[in-house]
């Protein structure tokens, strides 16, 4: 299955709920599906957090209750199912906060960091996915050797944590978003370690050097269910070494704590008319047509605005040149999709500083969605009553027309269209 088929499959999910809930009851089925997808995304975040020593009994209890509500002949009430969806968003906010705390306590206070892109001469290992603890365990096991470790995809934000960035064996970053991995993993000569979701079934060209961890697995793959990466290290010795092929540098690390340390400066600049708007452009990327909307939109943002980005959706916009404004890069990379909590924290802090609601801020959210984590974050935003979100490139197919119309009416939800430049201009005009 290629990337386009993957995306199409997710958008066209089959009915899996109670007999008799299809047809005239498709709206109830739609809310059940929305809840299930949100729970899946939240479970992924909770799993990452638990591995870092962070858990919460209330979150676990809610997940049990919510899954129970989707069973056969349990809940046939639209209002209570929508309430559960919004509670899922509230619980997901708590989970993302736990994950953020776990990352900071384990890997240090984030800071902007310059990352070398490309490869260096010598044996190398490429790490993709989201699990920073796997990356850390691997780095400890190659310490003192000449093996270089590179991040890929959503692992790029690992460089903002000093404990990881300063490790002598972390050499830099290679590649882009997950849907490019078949070409990029084929080009990388060493073993690839896939730590979480967004791994594709490998072709024969690199199948024997792809390793996965725990729940992540592929047919005929080499799965590691513990923290011993000796098999990956041995493969790095057997494989051809990387060549010296630098591809420039990038800057990451604008964690919410970094931005909030400059909150007074940013607030005063807005009041003085020096910042026209903040744009949150990012989310989950995919391969289907229509995602160029986000790159075109970002390119159309004015020079006196800032773009906050996170998730693999950043790869749609990060290769453009945006310049600087007020001493900051205009494009501020806040981290993984796991770091969506940070954008919410910044928005809430700015609203408090301006003594207004989030919906009254000079802030636009232009979000690309693809998989279940994006649904969980989407529900979190709705649970906070955030309105005016632009979502795309397609409406979720598991959300029925009636439910989608309800969400549009309550939350002024918009879909990406064919005029990103005009949409960006209209957003600034409303400031």
CATH number assigned to the domain comprising residue 214:
3.40.50.2030
The last residue of a domain, from among 84, 107, 130: 107
Average pLDDT, the chain: 93
73 domain-assigned: yes
Q: In this model, does residue 16 exceed pLDDT 70?
A: no
239 domain-assigned: yes
DSSP letter (8 states) at residue 250: E
Among positive and negative, which fits the CA dihedral 234, 238, 244, 250?
negative
Based on the domain organization, do 71 and 122 belong to the same domain?
no
Q: In this model, does residue 8 exceed pLDDT 70?
A: no
378 domain-assigned: no
The last residue of a domain, from among 248, 280, 309: 248
Based on the domain organization, do 171 and 88 belong to the same domain?
no
Q: What is the mean pLDDT of residues 222-247?
A: 97
Contact criterion met (CB below 8 Å) for 229 and 138: yes
Beta-carbon contacts of 58 under 8 Å, excluding residues fewer than 6 positions away, are: 91, 94
Domain CATH for 35: 1.20.1270.20
Based on the domain organization, do 240 and 133 belong to the same domain?
yes
Based on the domain organization, do 100 and 119 belong to the same domain?
no
Based on the domain organization, do 89 and 131 belong to the same domain?
no
Residue ranges at the known binding site for [2Fe-2S] cluster = 3, 6, 15, 22
Residue ranges at the known binding site = 3, 6, 15, 22, 130, 154, 198, 284, 312, 337, 371, 373
> Which domain does 103 fall in, by range?
3-107
Based on the domain organization, do 242 and 124 belong to the same domain?
yes
Based on the domain organization, do 98 and 139 belong to the same domain?
no
pLDDT tens digits, one per residue of 106-120: 999 999 999 999 999
Q: What does pTM read for this prediction?
A: 0.93
Based on the domain organization, do 100 and 130 belong to the same domain?
no
Residue with tokens 């098999």: 231
Residue ranges at the known binding site for hybrid [4Fe-2O-2S] cluster = 130, 154, 198, 284, 312, 337, 371, 373
Based on the domain organization, do 117 and 36 belong to the same domain?
no
Contact criterion met (CB below 8 Å) for 169 and 143: yes
The last residue of a domain, from among 51, 78, 107: 107
Q: What is the pLDDT of residue 21?
A: 42
Q: Name the strands in the sheet holding 363-368, side by side, starting at the edge strand that comes first in the sequence.
A: 331-335, 306-310, 278-283, 363-368, 390-392, 414-415
Band the pLDDT of 26: cuts 50, 70, 90.
very high
Q: In this model, does residue 288 exceed pLDDT 80?
A: no
Count of domains in the chain?
Answer: 2
């Amino acid at each position: 299955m290629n990337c386009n088929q993957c995306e199409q499959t997710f958008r066209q999910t089959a009915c899996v709920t109670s007999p008799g809930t299809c047809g005239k009851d498709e709206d109830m089925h739609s809310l059940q599906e929305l809840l299930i997808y949100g729970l899946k995304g939240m479970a992924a975040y909770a799993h990452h957090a638990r591995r870092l020593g962070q858990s919460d009994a209330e979150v676990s209890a809610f997940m049990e209750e919510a899954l129970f509500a989707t069973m056969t002949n349990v809940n046939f009430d639209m209002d209570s199912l929508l309430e559960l969806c919004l509670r899922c968003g509230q619980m997901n906010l708590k989970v993302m906060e736990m994950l953020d705390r776990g990352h900071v306590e384990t890997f240090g206070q984030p800071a902007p960091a310059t990352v070398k892109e490309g490869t260096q001469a010598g044996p190398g290992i490429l790490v993709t996915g989201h699990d920073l603890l796997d990356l850390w365990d691997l780095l400890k096991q190659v310490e003192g050797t000449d093996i270089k470790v590179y991040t890929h995809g959503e692992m790029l934000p690992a460089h903002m944590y000093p404990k990881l960035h300063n490790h002598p064996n972390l050499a830099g970053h290679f590649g882009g978003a997950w849907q490019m991995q078949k070409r990029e993993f084929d080009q990388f000569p060493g073993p690839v370690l896939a730590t979480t979701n967004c791994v594709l079934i490998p072709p024969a060209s690199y199948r024997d050097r792809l390793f996965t961890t725990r729940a992540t697995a592929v047919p005929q793959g080499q799965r590691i269910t513990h923290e011993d990466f000796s098999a990956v290290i041995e493969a790095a010795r057997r494989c051809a070494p990387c060549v010296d092929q630098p591809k420039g540098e990038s800057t990451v690390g604008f964690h919410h704590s970094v931005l909030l340390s400059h909150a007074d400066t940013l607030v005063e600049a807005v009041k003085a008319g020096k910042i026209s708007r903040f744009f949150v452009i990012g989310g989950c990327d995919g391969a289907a047509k229509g995602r160029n909307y986000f790159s075109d939109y970002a390119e159309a943002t004015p020079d006196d605005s800032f773009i906050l980005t996170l998730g693999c959706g950043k790869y749609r916009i990060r290769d453009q040149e945006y310049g600087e404004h007020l001493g900051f890069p205009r494009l501020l990379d806040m981290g993984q999709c796991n770091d969506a909590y940070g954008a919410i924290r910044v928005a809430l802090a700015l609203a408090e500083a301006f003594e207004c609601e989030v919906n009254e801020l000079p802030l636009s959210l232009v979000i690309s969605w693809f998989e279940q984590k994006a649904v969980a974050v989407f529900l979190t935003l709705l649970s906070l009553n955030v309105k005016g979100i632009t979502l795309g490139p397609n409406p979720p197919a598991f959300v029925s027309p009636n439910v989608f119309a309800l969400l549009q009416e309550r939350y002024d939800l918009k879909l990406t269209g064919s005029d990103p430049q005009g949409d960006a201009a209209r957003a600034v005009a409303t400031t």
